Amino acid sequence: MKRYHVIVSGRVQGVGFRYFCVMNAQQLGLTGSVRNMSNGMVEIFIQGNEIAIDKFLAIIKKGNMFINIENYTIKQLPIVHDEQDFIYNY
């Protein structure tokens, strides 16, 4: 079990990126949250099985015809033991 803090930049606001993250994280059984930042970037907290997290990151890096990640940073964090869902934060 791992937990990461990810900040992504590029075309990630106004294109359904948060929904894209929620749907893919839930399908992979991951927990955490995603939110838009005031600087145009998106912040993700992702937790779960390392293989599932790697799949999630590969999916969001690939994006879709609307989403285009130009850059991202990732930092490992301590596990949050009582977290149960992957949600939007506002």
Q: What is the pLDDT of residues 20-54, one digit of tens each?
A: 999 999 999 999 999 999 999 999 999 999 999 99
Phi, psi values for residue 44, rounded to 5°: -125, 135
| Res. 86: pLDDT tops 90 | yes
How high is the pLDDT of residue 50? 96
The domains of the chain are located at 2-80
Rounded mean pLDDT of the chain?
Answer: 96
Burial class (CB in 10 A: 0-12, 13-18, 19+), 87: middle
Question: Annotated catalytic sites, by residue?
Answer: 18, 36
Indicate the pTM of the whole model.
Answer: 0.94
Non-local CB neighbours of 11 within 8 Å, separated by 6+ positions: 66, 67, 68, 70
Helix, strand, or coil (residue 67): coil
| Res. 90: pLDDT tops 90 | no
CATH 3.40.50.300 describes domain 2-80: no
How high is the pLDDT of residue 89? 87
